């Protein structure tokens, strides 16, 4: 029987390790490297790409997507990206362009590059596109329209279709895989939308007040009427006089629900609700915005559940608890 020296055994072990690392790195590099500006886009891309992609999201679900720190590590990640997926409609205008420029990645630097995907181009209807000239006195008005379209789950299906088409171009060998994943995603989300529609149906026409003009797509889908905003103008902090007028208006209209994304200030919303007799509801509005929200469908399970629970109990103990939690 052949005997091996300690040196020979060590050499075999090192060789095995190096081969394993080589093939492991090959597997990683073979995957399509995706960077998403927002976690919702990243979550959708992950469901479509499956094990053929690596996905990183720059913004976190608990952050205001208008304001994200442009970290140097993001430049490094973008430098290696095969595909950048971003929201568009100038939502990331304050932080993403410098990162793209700094990446020096020809796959994503040009707006018409194959590796650069503006998800907003797949949305059938952009809300609140200005019809008159805008200026800074009007607050943070987006000249291309309201960019928070991912808060209508129907738009998630359109975005998923766009991501699927682009992945099929970038990685044609796995085209059928991406197409199959898209079908699963769309079928599941369509079924969930029917369920959510049923849960929301009794509350169509409900008048609400929100903190910022970021819930229009959600309200449009759910059939809510937004009758006021805690911000006097988009991006402008509320003043005492504005808050007082808003409370007066809410009392006269008997508005029962105040909603704010959970990354916005909570105290003013809670105050407005308490003073007007409404419920204050702080909700996650992005994947990762709350523990347990890992997919795009998870997000709407929570949003719809929170809103319908609050409206069902608008005069009961649950309402008082919801209002207190916001403070």
Q: Is residue 295 part of a domain?
A: yes
The per-residue pLDDT for 136 is 66
> Beta strand pairing status for 207-210 and 225-229?
parallel
The per-residue pLDDT for 289 is 97
The per-residue pLDDT for 141 is 72
252: containing domain: 204-326
133 & 223 share domain: no
Predicted TM-score of the model (pTM) = 0.86
Q: Is residue 6 part of a domain?
A: no
Domain with residue 94: its CATH number is 3.40.50.1980
165 & 30 share domain: yes
172 & 74 share domain: yes
175 & 304 share domain: no
pLDDT one digit per residue (tens) for the chain, 327 residues? 444 454 443 443 333 333 333 334 444 458 999 999 999 999 999 999 999 999 999 999 999 999 999 899 999 999 999 999 999 999 999 999 999 999 999 999 999 999 999 999 999 999 999 888 877 667 677 789 999 999 999 999 999 999 999 999 999 999 999 999 999 999 999 999 999 999 999 999 999 999 999 999 999 999 999 999 999 999 899 999 999 999 999 999 999 999 999 999 999 999 999 999 999 999 999 999 999 999 999 999 999 999 999 999 774 544 333 443 443
Q: Is residue 68 part of a domain?
A: yes
Spatial distance between the Cα atoms of 193 and 199, rounded to a whole number of angstroms: 10
28 & 114 share domain: yes
The per-residue pLDDT for 112 is 95
3 state SS of 228: strand
The per-residue pLDDT for 5 is 52
165 & 218 share domain: no
> Which distant-in-sequence residues (6+ apart) come within 8 Å of 311 by Cβ?
203, 206, 256, 257
> Which distant-in-sequence residues (6+ apart) come within 8 Å of 119 by Cβ?
41, 85, 86, 87, 88, 159, 162, 163
189 & 250 share domain: no
């Amino acid at each position: 029987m052949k005997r091996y020296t300690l040196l020979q055994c060590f050499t075999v072990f090192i060789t095995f390790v190096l081969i394993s690392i080589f093939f492991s790195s090959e597997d990683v590099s073979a995957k399509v490297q995706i960077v998403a500006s927002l976690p919702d886009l990243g979550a959708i891309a992950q469901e479509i790409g499956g094990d053929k992609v690596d996905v990183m999201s720059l913004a976190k679900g608990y952050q205001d997507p208008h304001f994200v720190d442009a970290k140097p590590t993001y430049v490094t990640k973008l430098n290696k990206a095969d595909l950048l997926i971003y929201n568009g409609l100038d939502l990331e205008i304050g932080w993403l362009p410098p990162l793209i420029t700094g990446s020096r990645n020809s796959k994503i630097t040009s707006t018409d590059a194959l590796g650069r995907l503006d998800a907003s181009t797949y949305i059938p209807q952009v809300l609140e596109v200005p019809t008159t000239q805008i200026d800074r006195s009007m607050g943070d008005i987006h000249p291309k329209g309201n960019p928070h379209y991912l808060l209508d789950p129907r738009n998630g299906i359109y975005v998923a279709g766009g991501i699927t088409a682009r992945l099929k171009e970038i990685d044609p060998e796995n085209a059928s895989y991406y197409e199959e994943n898209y079908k699963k995603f769309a079928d599941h989300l369509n079924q969930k939308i029917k369920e959510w529609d049923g849960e929301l149906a009794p509350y169509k026409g409900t008048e609400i007040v929100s903190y910022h003009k970021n819930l229009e797509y959600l309200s449009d889908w759910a059939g809510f009427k937004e009758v006021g905003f805690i911000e006097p103008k988009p991006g402008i902090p509320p003043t005492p006089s504005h808050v007082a007028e808003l409370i007066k208006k809410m009392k006269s209209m008997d508005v029962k629900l105040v909603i704010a994304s959970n990354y916005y200030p909570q105290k003013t919303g809670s105050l407005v609700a308490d003073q007007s007799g409404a419920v204050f509801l702080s909700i996650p509005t992005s994947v990762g915005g709350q523990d347990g929200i890992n997919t795009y469908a998870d997000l709407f399970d929570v949003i719809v559940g929170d809103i319908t629970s609050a409206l069902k109990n608008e005069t009961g103990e649950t309402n008082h608890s919801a209002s207190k939690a916001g403070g």
